[in-house]
């Protein structure tokens, strides 16, 4: 089964990476899909986010994982890539409410694409891209929160903002 994991990944965190690694063990192919969202003001450019995710894929030897940028409706884009599943992560009930609404809408748009929800590992259940940025911007230690290969780059990047 081929699945995609859509999101902003601004930037990719260890919480995202954990979901990707678990999915890579379960599915034949996983596409990390950076969805262009005009309503979201991202800190890192699309090119930077693609490069970061590719670095993580290479460093972790994730041979059945790739990264792409998508636009428009996620479910349509996923179907156009030949994905039978859309993967999302759930950290708390607040995530669930949003994901339930999204999954229900997607199902009504396309019955051939299933939304698959993976529960966050407890140690990452508080972790979000915005929290990592907040910590980095204020000089806090983000190692353990970000993939090792990105710690230096993101720490530097946040200082210049």
- Interface positions with ligand ADP (CB under 6 A): 7-9, 13, 15-16, 19, 88-89, 91, 95, 120, 124, 127-129
Is residue 16 annotated as a catalytic residue, yes or no?
Answer: yes
Q: Could you confirm whether 71 is annotated as catalytic?
A: no
Q: Is 91 known to be catalytic?
A: yes
Alpha-helical regions (H) of 27-125: 46-59, 74-80, 93-109
Q: CB 87 → ligand ADP: shortest distance, Å?
A: 8
Nearest approach, Cβ of residue 119 and ligand ADP (Å): 8
- Could you give the CA distance from residue 132 to residue 123 in angstroms, rounded to a whole number? 14
- Closest to ligand ADP by CB, 64 vs 125, is 125
Catalytic residue (one of 2, 55, 91, 121): 91
Is 66 labeled as catalytic in the residue annotation?
no
Distances in whole angstroms, Cα of residue 86 to Cα of each of 27, 42, 107: 12, 22, 11
Residue among 10 and 155 whose Cβ is closer to ligand ADP: 10
Measured from each CB, the residue nearest to ligand ADP is 15
Peptide bond into 152 cis (omega under 30): no
53 vs 79, beta carbon nearer ligand ADP: 53
- Give the CA distances from residue 81 to residues 56, 67, 78, 110, in Å, rounded to whole numbers and listed in that order: 22, 12, 5, 14
- Listed residue (13, 143, 2) closest to 89, CA to CA: 13
């Amino acid at each position: 089964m081929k699945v995609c994991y859509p999101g902003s990944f601004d930037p990719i965190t260890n919480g995202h990476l954990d979901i990707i690694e678990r999915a890579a063990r379960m599915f034949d192919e996983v596409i990390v899909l950076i969805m262009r969202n005009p309503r979201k003001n991202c800190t890192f450019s699309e090119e930077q986010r693609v490069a970061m995710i590719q670095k993580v894929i290479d460093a972790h030897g994730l041979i059945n994982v790739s990264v792409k940028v998508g636009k428009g409706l996620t479910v349509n884009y996923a179907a156009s890539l030949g994905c039978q599943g859309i993967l999302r992560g759930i950290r708390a009930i607040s995530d669930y409410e949003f994901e339930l609404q999204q999954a229900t809408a997607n199902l009504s748009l396309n019955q051939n694409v299933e939304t698959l929800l993976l529960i966050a590992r407890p140690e990452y259940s508080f972790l979000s891209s915005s929290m990592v940025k907040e910590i980095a911007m204020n000089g806090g230690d983000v190692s353990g929160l970000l993939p090792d290969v990105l710690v230096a780059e993101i720490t530097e990047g946040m200082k210049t903002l």
